[in-house]
């Protein structure tokens, strides 16, 4: 077969040079179907990043057809190299044999799409932004198939042209930037074409440019849903219905609308018990909000920060009564020349409803692109209007440099009073020789900067600087159990906008990939003394002594019937500083009854001897000797290519025994108070059984049973007893049946 394809390429045949032949996506590489395809054989090692030829031959074919971008893989894998036959659910993360196709349809390094197929025909898809940031919330409609034989396995994919907006091409051809890779699950080895790595700051910019024939497709789909919910606690049921509409007349314009969307509990968020001052970030899986959302990505180096956080839409209502009721939402994506644009509108019902709007413009200039983002939220119940405007610039002046700049500001009007402030970030990576790399990050968020009406920012009033130096050791001795290592050192300084030092920090970490496919990561942070200006919720900063924290993680993929994950931490903190040590440990084994059925039972435990919690009523800080235990258990059964059953159980027990109470004076000193704070304990339960049947692409029947509860008591209890008692919680118990079907018109 290799000689046949060599002749084809040698003759210069390529998509556009002759009429394209339709490819039957059956997983079998038929030479007649792939005539004219670009043939790729030069797969190089990128994990570890040696760029040596892959240990097992891999071939790929790339072909533009009227139906979409077709890609085929032939993966040589003789019996001497173990194959992973584990079945996986959509958007899997398991370490299995797989191939990846990543495409930047506009070729500007701004937004890419990742399509993954495992050797058992499981799939994952994701949007890539900021060069190497992957978000798997998005689910696309594309074709795939797998076949295998004694010497290897093959994959065929077909990605429709309507899957994403793309700029209009000229001259009958289009230039895409493409990356292909293949992962051997038993070792973790990754070989790729080109030899680019998402572990480097430049990734999408290093994709190979591929010229191919231009095609365009239109699409109109309507996905109505009906759902019925029975509440076994409050009694009674509820029926609902709505629809998602997607219209894509061509590659340059795509529109989406949702009417009375239903966001019932077909997905289960992880339980979180949060007594801190920082909001917990939760990703969004709702189809309307993930479709073509990559253009609206405006993020900063601050964890999870973004100008448009779609979980705000339909989030907790402004009157505190449940969630906002979304009546309708509309999204438009398109391009005019080298400029891409996006419009987003969403409206909630009732007096407490909000109106959300966003406008996005991005212009490509070759080795750099410039964007503008505007968001506005009207909140009549709070008499509050919030507007945020941001400008972002991504610059790649050379192969060594990658620079990202963000400048944004907010203006908020509450009952006629207007406040505003600015924020800005700079992120620069410099790739040196011999595996060395430097990174600089600077962030400023003004004291009155407010973007959380539509976006997410963990905190404002921040001035942050860091410098990091990395060294990658991609080649290890033959006798080493490691295939690669990377060491990192970082120094940082962190102040609020009032000049108070939050802390200085020195960090050293090491990442290791083992030859058996396992993964290790270890980190230690040394923190200077500083202040915590968030814990009292605006009642003044609290001085805190120096501290440290350390972390270790180990993941071993499935070997035989078992897979293992371990996490451990040792830390100090609170007002005790380094005089008291806390710890946490988590162990999560997975037992595979078969390739399709697995059981997980993980346990987490921690002890924090000086845990600080602010008491709102008394304005006191309480120091607690706290212990926490989690139980995470589940069952995953991939019944077939279209059916899956998932059982998920999470239980949390927290016991906080009050040691001392403190008041805070005007200079930030914590003073022992004669007033007492109470012990407390928390129980939390989340349990879900979910059956999903795929009727057709992106058309599903869900049957979901869920139960959960939360209880906080004003006294201390044993964590073992709390964990056992959590199974009695029953604040909610519901049965949901949802049917959605996607019609292509």
Q: Of all helices (H) and strands (E), which one includes residue 115?
A: strand 111-118
Residue 5 has pLDDT above 70, yes or no: no
For residue 97, what are the contacts with CB-CB under 8 A and spacing of at least 6?
A: 75, 77, 83, 84, 118, 119, 153, 183, 184, 185, 186
Lowest mean pLDDT among 291-300, 356-365, 384-393, 709-718: 291-300
Which tens digit of pLDDT belongs to each residue from 717-737?
A: 999 999 999 999 999 999 999
Pairing, β 38-40 against β 597-615: unpaired
Confidence of residue 8 (pLDDT cuts 50, 70, 90): very low
Which tens digit of pLDDT belongs to each residue from 47-63?
A: 999 999 999 999 999 99
Which tens digit of pLDDT belongs to each residue from 554-604?
A: 999 999 999 999 999 999 999 999 999 999 999 999 999 999 999 999 999
Would you state the pLDDT for residue 265? Answer: 54
Q: Which of 710, 706, 712, 708 is nearest to 686 (CA)?
A: 708
Question: Quick one: average pLDDT of 202-219?
Answer: 93
Question: Quick one: average pLDDT of 277-300?
Answer: 88
- Assign a CATH topology to domain 2-215: Immunoglobulin-like (2.60.40)
Would you state the pLDDT for residue 341? Answer: 95
pTM here is: 0.91
Q: What percent of the chain has pLDDT over 90?
A: 84
Would you state the pLDDT for residue 10? Answer: 28
Pairing, β 98-104 against β 111-118: antiparallel
Residue 354 has pLDDT above 50, yes or no: yes
Residue 285 has pLDDT above 90, yes or no: no
Which tens digit of pLDDT belongs to each residue from 594-650?
A: 999 999 999 999 999 999 999 988 899 999 999 999 999 999 999 988 999 999 999
Would you state the pLDDT for residue 21? Answer: 60
Would you state the pLDDT for residue 115? Answer: 98
Would you state the pLDDT for residue 7? Answer: 28
For 3, phi then psi, to 5°, come to -65, -40
Residues of the chain with CATH 2.60.40.1190: 2-215
Output the average pLDDT for the chain. Answer: 93
Would you state the pLDDT for residue 449? Answer: 98
Residue 173 has pLDDT above 50, yes or no: yes
- The answer to whether 301 touches 445, Cβ cutoff 8 Å, is no
Helix (H), strand (E), coil (C) string for 33-52: CCCCCEEECCCEEEECCCCC
Residue 216 has pLDDT above 90, yes or no: no
For residue 493, what are the contacts with CB-CB under 8 A and spacing of at least 6?
A: 464, 465, 466, 501, 504, 505
Confidence of residue 541 (pLDDT cuts 50, 70, 90): very high
Would you state the pLDDT for residue 605? Answer: 98
For residue 426, what are the contacts with CB-CB under 8 A and spacing of at least 6?
A: 403, 404, 405, 406, 440, 441, 442, 443
Question: Quick one: average pLDDT of 484-501?
Answer: 97
């Amino acid at each position: 077969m290799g000689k046949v394809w060599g002749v084809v390429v040698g003759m210069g045949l390529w998509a556009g040079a002759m009429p394209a032949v339709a490819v039957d996506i059956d997983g079998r590489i038929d030479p007649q179907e792939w005539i004219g395809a670009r043939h790729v054989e030069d797969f190089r090692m990128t994990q570890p990043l040696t760029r040596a030829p892959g240990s097992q031959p891999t071939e790929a074919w790339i072909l533009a057809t009227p139906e979409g971008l077709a890609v085929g893989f032939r993966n040589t894998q003789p019996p001497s190299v173990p194959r992973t036959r584990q079945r996986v659910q959509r958007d899997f993360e398991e370490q299995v044999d797989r191939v990846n196709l990543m495409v930047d349809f506009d070729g500007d390094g701004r937004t890419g799409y990742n399509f993954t197929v495992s050797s058992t025909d499981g799939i994952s898809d994701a949007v890539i932004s900021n060069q190497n940031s992957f978000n798997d919330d998005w689910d696309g409609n594309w074709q795939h198939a797998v076949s295998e034989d004694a010497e290897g396995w093959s994959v065929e994919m077909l990605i429709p042209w309507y899957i994403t907006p793309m700029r209009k091409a000229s001259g009958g051809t289009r230039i895409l930037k493409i990356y292909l890779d293949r992962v051997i699950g038993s070792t973790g080895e990754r070989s790729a074409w080109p030899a680019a790595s998402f572990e480097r700051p430049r990734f999408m910019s290093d994709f190979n440019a591929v010229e191919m024939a231009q095609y365009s497709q239109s699409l109109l789909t309507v996905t109505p849903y009906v759902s019925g919910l029975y509440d076994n606690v409050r009694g009674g049921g509820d029926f609902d219905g709505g629809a998602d509409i997607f219209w894509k007349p061509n590659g340059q314009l795509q529109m989406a609308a949702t009417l009375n969307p239903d966001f019932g509990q077909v997905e289960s968020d992880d339980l979180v018990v949060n007594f801190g001052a920082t909001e917990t970030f939760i990703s969004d899986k709702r189809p309307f909000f993930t479709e073509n959302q990559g253009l609206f990505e405006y993020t900063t180096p601050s964890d999870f920060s973004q100008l448009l956080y779609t979980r705000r839409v339909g989030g907790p209502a402004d009157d505190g009564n449940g969630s906002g009721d979304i009546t309708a939402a509309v999204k438009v994506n398109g391009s005019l020349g080298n400029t891409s644009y996006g419009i987003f509108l969403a409206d909630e019902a009732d007096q407490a409803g909000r109106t959300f709007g966003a406008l996005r413009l991005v212009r490509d200039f070759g080795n750099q692109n410039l964007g503008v983002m505007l968001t506005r939220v009207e909140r009549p119940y709070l008499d509050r209007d919030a507007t945020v405007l941001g400008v972002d610039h991504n610059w790649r002046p050379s192969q060594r440099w990658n620079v990202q700049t963000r400048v944004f500001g907010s203006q908020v009007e509450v009952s006629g009073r207007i406040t505003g402030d600015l924020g800005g970030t700079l992120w620069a990576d410099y790739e040196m020789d011999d595996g060395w790399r430097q990174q600089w990050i600077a962030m400023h968020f003004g004291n009155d900067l407010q973007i959380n009406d539509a976006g997410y920012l963990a905190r404002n009033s921040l001035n942050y600087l860091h410098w990091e130096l990395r060294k990658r050791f991609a080649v290890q001795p033959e006798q080493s159990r490691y295939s690669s290592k990377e060491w990192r050192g970082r120094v940082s300084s962190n102040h609020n906008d009032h000049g108070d030092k939050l802390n200085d920090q020195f960090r050293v970490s090491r990442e290791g990939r083992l030859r058996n496919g396992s993964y290790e990561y270890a980190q230690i942070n040394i923190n200077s003394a500083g202040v915590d200006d968030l814990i009292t919720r605006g009642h003044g900063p609290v001085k805190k002594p120096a501290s440290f924290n350390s972390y270790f993680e180990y993941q071993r993929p499935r070997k035989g019937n078992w897979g293992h994950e371990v996490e451990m931490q040792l830390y100090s903190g609170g007002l005790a500083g380094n005089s008291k040590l806390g710890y946490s440990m988590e162990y999560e084994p997975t037992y595979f009854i078969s390739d399709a059925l697995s059981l997980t039972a993980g346990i987490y435990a921690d002890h924090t001897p000086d845990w600080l919690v602010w008491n709102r009523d008394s304005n006191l800080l309480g120091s607690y000797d706290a212990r926490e235990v989690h139980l995470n258990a589940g069952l995953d059964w991939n019944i077939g290519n279209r059916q899956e059953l998932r059982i998920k159980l999470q239980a949390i027990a927290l016991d906080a025994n009050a040691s001392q109470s403190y008041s805070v004076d005007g200079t930030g000193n914590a003073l022992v108070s004669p007033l007492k704070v109470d012990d407390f304990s928390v129980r939390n339960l989340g349990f879900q059984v979910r059956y999903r049947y795929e009727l057709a692409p992106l058309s599903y029947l869900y049957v979901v049973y869920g139960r959960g509860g939360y209880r906080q008591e004003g006294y201390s209890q044993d964590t073992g007893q709390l964990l056992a008692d959590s199974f009695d919680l029953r604040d909610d118990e519901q049965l949901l049946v949802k049917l959605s079907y996607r019609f292509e018109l």
